[in-house]
């Protein structure tokens, strides 16, 4: 019994990390129609920066905030000066963002070397918590908490704030939004910055159990794509449900059928896509 509870918690906490990663990817695609294949690279870069900040400051919060801010700045610069030129050119975006995958991978290798690096678990959240007679790793519970908070924040941001309304208006009709005085370019740039900051947040939160190593960028990108495919592009709810689904599938797949671990993610995805080509919550393109 204990096995199932702990594995479920592990699966959900992994799912929450995936949500941090996939929410930004989904948002950027759904709202701005941009395919960003460098999203996994932002995740990796964020993790490396977080680990480095932690090494010098020994402060977990500072590591999280520092990585998120650094990646937000990078994202804003990239969107403002480069991606904006390729509006609507999907193939161009693929080439461009893959170019960034290569550049970020090589610079990371140069700066941080080829060894896997982990973040120490912050001392406050080490060890285990017992709830109702069942013991859970405390840090996993923290990850779930952060994931839920971010999900709530994003939901509120989209539905309840003026910027969120502006974003949705800009997606539906860019020209009309401009005409009634909304600053569309600024809005899209801000959303892009939020998405890269979220990827970094996911990276640092995952630091204690996933860490950063060469190749984690492509792995993270693949998982984020699977989540977004299952959930449906552009849907926050889809990203949330898809993340938890993939987190559980991956966790139980690895625990129960270690030799089939890749199938337990990709096979359900192929089936879902065959039945619902736009994902569970996606709009028709």
Q: How far is the CB of 63 from another protein (least distance, A)?
A: 26
Instruction: Output 185 or 268, the one with its CB closest to another protein.
Output: 268
Cα 117–chain centre separation: 19
Instruction: Output 146 or 225, the one with its CB closest to another protein.
Output: 225
- CA atoms 121, 122, 128, 132: torsion sign: negative
Tokens of 156: 């509120």
| Rounded distance between C-alpha atoms, residue 206 and residue 143, angstroms | 8
Instruction: Output 177 or 264, the one with its CB closest to another protein.
Output: 264
Instruction: Output 46 or 279, the one with its CB closest to another protein.
Output: 279
Q: How far is the CB of 102 from another protein (least distance, A)?
A: 3
Q: How far is the CB of 258 from another protein (least distance, A)?
A: 10
Which residues sit at the interface with another protein, rule CB under 8 A?
A: 29, 35, 82, 85-86, 89-92, 94-96, 98-103, 105-107, 110, 218, 222, 225-226, 228-229, 233, 259-260, 262-263, 266-267, 269-270, 273-274, 277-279, 285
Instruction: Output 37 or 142, the one with its CB closest to another protein.
Output: 37
Q: How far is the CB of 94 from another protein (least distance, A)?
A: 6
Of 166, 156, 59, 51, whose CA–CA distance to 111 is shortest? 51
Q: How far is the CB of 239 from another protein (least distance, A)?
A: 14
Q: What is the DSSP string of 137-203?
A: EHHHHHHHHHHHHHHHHHHHHHHHSHHHHHHHHHHH-HHHHHHTT--HHHHHHHHHHHHHHHHHHHH
Residue owning tokens 């709830």: 131
């Amino acid at each position: 019994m204990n096995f199932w509870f702990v594995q479920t918690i592990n699966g959900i906490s992994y799912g929450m990390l995936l949500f941090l990663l996939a929410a930004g990817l989904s948002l950027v695609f759904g709202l701005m129609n941009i395919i960003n294949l460098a999203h996994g690279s932002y995740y990796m870069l964020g993790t490396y920066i977080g680990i480095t900040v932690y090494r010098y400051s020994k402060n977990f919060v500072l590591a999280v905030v520092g990585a998120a801010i650094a990646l937000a700045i990078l994202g804003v610069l990239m969107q403002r000066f480069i991606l904006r030129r390729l509006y609507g050119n999907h193939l161009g975006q693929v080439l461009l963002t893959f170019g960034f995958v290569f550049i970020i991978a090589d610079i990371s290798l140069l700066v941080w070397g080829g060894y896997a690096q982990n973040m120490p678990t912050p001392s406050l959240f080490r060890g285990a918590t017992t709830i109702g007679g069942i013991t859970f790793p405390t840090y996993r519970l923290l990850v779930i908490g952060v994931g839920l908070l971010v999900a709530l924040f994003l939901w509120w941001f989209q539905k309840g704030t003026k910027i969120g309304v502006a974003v949705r208006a800009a997606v539906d009709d860019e020209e009309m939004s401009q005409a009634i005085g909304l600053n569309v370019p600024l809005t899209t740039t801000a959303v892009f910055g939020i998405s890269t900051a979220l990827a970094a947040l996911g990276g640092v939160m995952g630091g204690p159990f996933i860490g950063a190593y060469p190749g984690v960028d492509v792995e993270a990108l693949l998982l984020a794509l699977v989540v977004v495919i299952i959930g449906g592009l552009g849907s926050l709810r889809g990203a949330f449900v898809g993340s938890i689904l993939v987190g559980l599938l991956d966790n139980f797949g690895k625990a129960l059928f270690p030799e089939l671990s890749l199938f337990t993610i990709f096979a359900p995805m192929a089936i879902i896509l065959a039945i619902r080509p736009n994902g569970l919550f996606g709009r028709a393109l």
